[in-house]
C-alpha cells in the first residue's frame, strides 16, 4: 500500500461477504476494503464468483450474508446509484444505435462527468471516424472501447470493471490502464477482474482473492 | 460532477426506444399485417352476411388487436436483458419505475398506435356503422395502453424464463377479460343506440390505476428477474 492510500478515506468496506447459490456457497466469507485512489484486482479461477461479486457490489444482486459499508455507512442501493459504474460481460450497447447515440443515452441517464462532449470522448477512446457506425458493425474490440467511453463520460467514484481487458489490442490495454490511473489519481476507486496478466502503471495493485 | 435530471433521462429512454423501433420498422408492420389478415379471414369463415359481420365487427377488431399486441409484447425487454442495457438502466440514478413507464410508452407508440390507425379500416371491412367508429377508437385508445401496462408487468415477471412467449399468453389473456368486457360492451352499446359512456369510464379508471401501479410492479419484477 502506498503512502497516499493510507491517508485516503475508505470508500468501500466488505466484512464477511458471502454469496450462496441454491444453498451452495459460491464465495466468501470475503473481507476487503477499498480506499479512494485505489485500484484492486479481483483474483480467482473461473466460476469462483468474480462476476457475482461485482454484480453484488453494483446493486444487481442483493446481499444475503455479510456487511457492506459505503463511505463509512451501511450500503444502500439508492444512495450508491450514480456513484458507481458497472461494466459487465454484456456491454450495455444497443447494436442498432451508433456509439454516439449509445453514449448520449448514457449521459441522459447518468449525467456528465466534467462537461466533456461525446465526440471528444469518442476521439480520445480511439473511435474517431466510427461515431455514426451502428455498434453491430464494429469489431469486438471497438465495441469494448465504446463501452469504456462511458468511464470517461459519466460521473462515478467507484468503477466495477468485469474483464475490461478482454478483446482489446495492446493500445486498448494501455488505454484501460491510463483510464484507471487517471481515475485513481482523481480520487476514484476501481475493482477490476481479469484473467490475463495485468500491468498497472503504478506497480503492484491491491488484490482481492476470491479463495482464501 | 452533475447527476442527470429526470426529464432528460425520460427523454433519452423514450427517444432511444423509438429510434430503435424506427431502425427496425419491419417489425412494426408485422402486427399490423397480422391484424389485417386475421380480420380478413373472418368473413371467409363465417360467410359474407352483412348483418352477422356488423354484429361481430366490434368484438372481432378488439380481439384481433389484443392478439396482435400479444405478438409484439414478448420482445419488450428481451433485447435489453440480452445486451445488458437493462442493467445499465437499473444502475442509473433514476427512478426505475418511471424509466419503465417510458419504455412501456415507447412500446405502446410503436405497436398499439399503428393498430389503432388501421382499426377503422378493419371495422369498415366488417361493416361496422360509421357512427359507432368513434366509440371503437375511444375504447381502443383506453384498452391498448391498459394491455401494454398489464403485459409489461407479466413480461417482467417471465423475463428470466426461457419459454416466456407461451407462458406470457397464458398469464395475460385471463387478465384481459375485464378489458375485453368493457371495451366490447361500449361498442355493443353504441351499436344498439344505448349510452356507452359508463364502460368507457370504467376503462379509463382501470387505465388510471394501471398507469400508477404497473410501472412500479414492472420495476420490482425486473429487479427480481435480474437478481438470479
pLDDT (mean) for A118-130: 89
pLDDT (mean) for A164-168: 86
Q: Report yes or no: A135 and A103 within 8 Å, Cβ to Cβ.
A: no
Q: Does pLDDT of B79 surpass 70?
A: yes
Q: Is B105 left (phi over 0), alpha (psi -120 to 50) or beta?
A: alpha
- In this prediction, residue B149 has a pLDDT band, given cuts at 50, 70 and 90, of very high
pLDDT of residue B168: 87
Q: Report yes or no: B157 and B77 within 8 Å, Cβ to Cβ.
A: no
pLDDT (mean) for B68-77: 88
pLDDT of residue A169: 87
Enumerate chain A positions whose Cβ falls within 8 A of a Cβ in B: 58-62, 81-86, 88-97, 101, 104-114, 134, 155
- Cα angle for residues A71, A72, A76 (degrees, 5° grid): 70
Cα separation, A202 vs B77, in Å, equals 42
pLDDT of residue B5: 83
| Nearest by Cα to A192 from A161, A159, A167, A166 | A161
pLDDT (mean) for A39-58: 86
By CA distance, what is A160's nearest residue in B?
B91
Q: How far is A207 from chain B (nearest CA, A)?
A: 25
pLDDT (mean) for B166-195: 92
pLDDT of residue A202: 59
Cα separation, B35 vs B119, in Å, equals 9
Contact between A60 and B226 using a beta-carbon 8 Å cutoff: yes
Q: Is B64 exposed, middle or buried (0-12, 13-18, 19+ CB in 10 A)?
A: buried
Mutate to test the interface with A, among B4, B18, B103 (most CBs of A within 10 A): B4
Q: How far is A95 from chain B (nearest CA, A)?
A: 8
Instruction: Provide the mean pLDDT of chain B.
Output: 91
Q: Does pLDDT of B200 surpass 50?
A: yes
pLDDT of residue A62: 84
Mutate to test the interface with A, among B92, B97, B102 (most CBs of A within 10 A): B92
Which DSSP string do the residues of B166-228 spell out, in sequence order? Answer: HHHHHHHHHHHHHHHHHHHHHHHHHHTT---HHHHHHHHHHHHHHHHHHHHHHHHHHHHHH--
Helix (H, G, I), strand (E, B) or coil at B93: coil
Q: Does pLDDT of A22 surpass 60?
A: yes
Residues 118-137 of B with CB under 8 A from A: none
Q: Write the class of the CATH domain A10-209.
A: alpha beta
Q: Report yes or no: B15 and A94 within 8 Å, Cβ to Cβ.
A: no
- In this prediction, residue A44 has a pLDDT band, given cuts at 50, 70 and 90, of confident
Q: Report yes or no: B112 and B145 within 8 Å, Cβ to Cβ.
A: yes
Q: Does pLDDT of A212 surpass 70?
A: no
Give residue-wise pLDDT tens across range B183-198. Answer: 999 999 999 999 999 9
Q: Does pLDDT of A204 surpass 70?
A: no
Helix (H, G, I), strand (E, B) or coil at B159: coil
Cα separation, A82 vs A157, in Å, equals 9
pLDDT (mean) for A168-189: 88
Task: Indicate the DSSP class of residue A148.
Answer: H
- In this prediction, residue B78 has a pLDDT band, given cuts at 50, 70 and 90, of confident
Output the nine-digit C-alpha cell for A90. Answer: 454484456
By CA distance, what is A134's nearest residue in B?
B23
Proportion of chain A above pLDDT 90, given as a percent: 19
Cα separation, B102 vs B13, in Å, equals 7
pLDDT (mean) for B177-183: 94
pLDDT (mean) for B70-95: 89
Mutate to test the interface with B, among A77, A98, A105 (most CBs of B within 10 A): A105
- In this prediction, residue A5 has a pLDDT band, given cuts at 50, 70 and 90, of very low
Contact between B92 and A94 using a beta-carbon 8 Å cutoff: no
Q: Is B88 on the interface with A (CB under 8 A)?
A: yes
What lies within 8 Å, CB to CB, of A122 at 6+ separation is A99, A100, A103, A128, A130, A131, A146, A149
Contact between B84 and A105 using a beta-carbon 8 Å cutoff: no
Contact between B88 and A92 using a beta-carbon 8 Å cutoff: yes
What ipTM was assigned to the predicted interfaces of this complex?
Answer: 0.86
Strands A206-209 and A39-43: parallel
* Secondary structure string (H, E, C) spanning B27-50: HHHHHHHHHHHHHHHHHHHHCCCH
Q: Does pLDDT of B160 surpass 80?
A: no
Cα separation, A103 vs A150, in Å, equals 7
- In this prediction, residue A208 has a pLDDT band, given cuts at 50, 70 and 90, of confident
The better pLDDT of the pair B228, A68 is held by A68
Cα separation, B212 vs A49, in Å, equals 38
Contact between B4 and A113 using a beta-carbon 8 Å cutoff: no
State pTM to two decimals: 0.90
Phi then psi dihedrals of residue A94, to 5 deg: -85, 120
Burial A163-182 (b: 16+ CB within 10 A, else e): bbbeebeeebbebbbebbee
Please report how the helices B96-107 and B197-226 are oriented relative to each other, as an axis angle in degrees rounded to 10: 120
B79 contacts in chain A (CB < 8 Å): 94
Runs of H (alpha helix) within A15-169: 50-58, 77-80, 99-110, 118-124, 140-153
pLDDT of residue A3: 46
Contact between A109 and B89 using a beta-carbon 8 Å cutoff: yes
User: Domain segments of chain A: what residues?
Assistant: 10-209
Contact between B4 and A109 using a beta-carbon 8 Å cutoff: yes
Q: Which of A198-202, B162-166, B176-180 has the highest mean pLDDT?
A: B176-180
Kindly list the strands in the beta sheet with A65-70, ordered across the sheet, starting from the edge strand earlier in the chain. A24-35, A10-21, A65-70, A73-74
The whole-angstrom distance between residue B76's C-alpha and the CA centroid of its chain comes to 11
Q: Does pLDDT of A2 surpass 60?
A: no
Q: Which of A27-36, A102-111, B173-182 has the lowest mean pLDDT?
A: A27-36
Contact between B4 and A96 using a beta-carbon 8 Å cutoff: no
Amino acid at each position: 500500500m502506498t503512502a497516499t492510500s493510507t491517508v485516503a478515506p475508505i470508500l468501500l468496506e466488505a466484512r464477511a461477504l458471502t454469496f450462496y447459490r441454491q444453498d451452495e456457497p459460491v464465495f466468501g466469507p470475503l473481507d476487503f476494503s477499498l480506499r479512494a485512489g485505489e485500484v484492486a484486482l479481483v483474483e480467482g479461477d473461473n466460476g469462483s464468483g468474480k462476476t457475482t461479486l461485482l454484480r453484488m457490489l453494483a446493486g444487481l444482486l442483493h446481499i444475503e450474508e455479510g456487511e457492506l459499508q459505503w463511505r463509512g455507512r451501511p450500503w444502500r442501493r439508492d444512495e450508491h446509484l450514480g456513484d458507481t459504474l458497472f461494466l459487465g460481460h454484456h456491454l450495455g450497447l444497443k447494436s442498432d444505435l451508433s456509439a454516439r447515440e449509445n453514449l448520449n443515452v448514457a449521459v441522459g441517464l447518468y449525467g456528465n462527468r466534467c462537461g466533456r462532449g461525446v465526440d471528444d470522448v469518442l476521439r480520445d477512446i480511439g473511435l474517431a471516424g466510427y461515431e455514426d457506425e451502428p455498434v453491430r458493425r464494429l469489431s469486438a474490440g471497438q465495441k469494448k472501447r465504446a463501452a469504456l467511453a462511458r468511464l470517461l463520460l459519466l460521473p462515478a467514484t467507484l468503477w466495477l470493471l468485469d474483464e475490461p481487458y478482454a478483446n482489446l489490442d495492446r493500445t486498448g490495454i494501455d488505454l484501460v490502464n491510463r483510464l484507471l490511473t487517471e481515475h485513481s489519481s482523481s480520487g476514484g476507486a476501481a475493482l477490476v477482474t481479469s484473467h490475463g496478466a495485468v500491468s498497472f502503471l503504478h506497480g503492484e495493485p491491491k488484490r482481492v482473492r476470491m479463495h482464501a | 460532477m452533475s447527476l442527470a435530471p429526470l426529464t432528460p433521462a425520460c427523454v433519452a429512454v423514450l427517444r432511444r426506444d423509438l429510434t430503435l423501433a424506427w431502425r427496425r420498422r419491419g417489425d412494426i408492420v408485422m402486427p399490423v399485417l397480422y391484424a389485417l389478415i386475421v380480420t380478413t379471414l373472418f368473413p371467409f369463415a363465417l360467410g359474407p352476411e352483412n348483418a352477422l359481420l356488423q354484429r361481430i365487427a366490434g368484438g372481432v377488431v378488439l380481439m384481433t388487436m389484443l392478439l396482435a399486441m400479444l405478438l409484439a409484447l414478448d420482445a419488450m425487454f428481451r433485447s435489453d436483458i440480452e445486451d445488458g442495457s437493462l442493467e445499465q438502466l437499473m444502475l442509473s440514478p433514476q427512478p426505475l419505475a418511471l424509466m419503465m413507464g417510458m419504455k412501456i410508452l415507447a412500446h405502446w407508440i410503436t405497436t398499439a398506435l399503428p393498430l389503432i390507425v388501421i382499426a377503422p379500416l378493419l371495422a369498415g371491412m366488417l361493416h361496422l356503422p360509421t357512427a359507432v367508429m368513434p366509440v371503437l377508437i375511444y375504447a381502443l385508445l383506453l384498452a391498448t395502453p391498459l394491455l401494454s401496462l398489464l403485459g409489461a408487468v407479466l413480461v417482467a415477471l417471465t423475463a428470466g424464463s426461457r419459454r416466456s412467449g407461451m407462458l406470457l399468453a397464458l398469464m395475460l389473456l385471463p387478465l384481459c377479460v375485464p378489458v375485453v368486457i368493457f371495451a366490447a360492451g361500449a361498442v355493443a352499446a353504441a351499436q344498439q343506440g344505448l349510452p356507452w359512456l359508463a364502460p368507457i369510464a370504467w376503462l379509463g379508471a382501470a387505465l388510471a390505476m394501471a398507469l400508477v401501479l404497473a410501472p412500479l410492479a414492472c420495476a420490482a419484477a425486473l429487479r427480481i428477474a435480474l437478481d438470479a
